[in-house]
Amino acid sequence: MNNELFSLNGRIAWITGASYGIGFTIAKALYSAGAKIVFNDIGQEQVDKGLASYKAEGIPALGYVCDVTDENAVNATAVKIEKEAGSVDILVNNAGIIKRIPMTDMSAAEFRQVIDVDLNAPFIVAKAVIPSMIKKGGGKIINICSMMSELGRETVSAYAAAKGGLKMLTKNIASEFGQYNIQCNGLGPGYIETPQTDPLREKQSDGSRHPFDQFIIAKTPAARWGKPHDLAGPAVFLASAASDFVNGHILYVDGGILAYIGKQP
């Protein structure tokens, strides 16, 4: 197969909230395929830590302070990026939050905050880059949709509602702007080994698995948690010419959880 299909040479990739975690992993993957990396985070401290992490990896990333829920700030950042790096070819809407609160204990303000970051912000950032993508003759938008765009679970009503909405926003962007050679797809990570999930995988005092770890392993045909690098190939695929006729699709990288009803007791 022609490796040029997966080349991102000369492409400008903006990954939101990519100072660390999944966004950082995706940024590294896009860089390895040839893309120039720009990212943002909500505060200078986070951006500085992100820049240090990229430098340690040998990646000359550009970092910007930007609250993705602030339309004026996003528009101003898009202008800065175009001036300092070039117009965006690849947008990864990665910034997000989750509040694990039982629905009846959750305030409307808390619900709105999750919707604002996880759904309104991807709309705002996509809207900021789509005109330049049209002008350039195409572009790629990748929304981080999560398995919670398909499944419900206790305590995550706002997050699931936001990610379900993001799944449909993904399909609608594909529908509205596919004619301009813009592909908008979703990437849905399963349960991934990160520092944030380390406590859920700690061995118990008797040597057994943590109850949540047992639950995830039992629900996953791959019988393991995902590793950050499991997202690298799918991200490059959705960002590259290899996916030029893939539009409005949600690619779940979940080890098969969504395909599996679970083991019989």
Are the C-beta atoms of residues 46 and 63 closer than 8 Å to each other? no
Angle between helices 44-56 and 21-32 (to 10 degrees): 40
Alpha helices in the chain (DSSP H): 21-32, 44-56, 71-84, 108-115, 121-136, 157-177, 211-219, 232-239
Pairwise CA distance, residues 249 & 140, whole Å: 12
* Residue among 31, 54, 159, 191 flagged as catalytic: 159
| CA 237 and chain centroid, separation | 14
From residue 220, how far is each of 140, 158, 190, 237, 264 by CA, in Å? 30, 24, 9, 23, 13
- Terminal-residue alpha carbon distance, the chain: 44
Angle at 6 between CA 60 and CA 170, to 5 degrees: 90
Quick check: is 64 catalytic?
Answer: no
> What residues are paired with 48 via a beta bridge?
none
Are the C-beta atoms of residues 262 and 218 closer than 8 Å to each other? yes
DSSP-derived 3-state class of residue 184? strand
Pairwise CA distance, residues 93 & 217, whole Å: 28
Are the C-beta atoms of residues 230 and 254 closer than 8 Å to each other? no
Active-site residues: which are they?
159
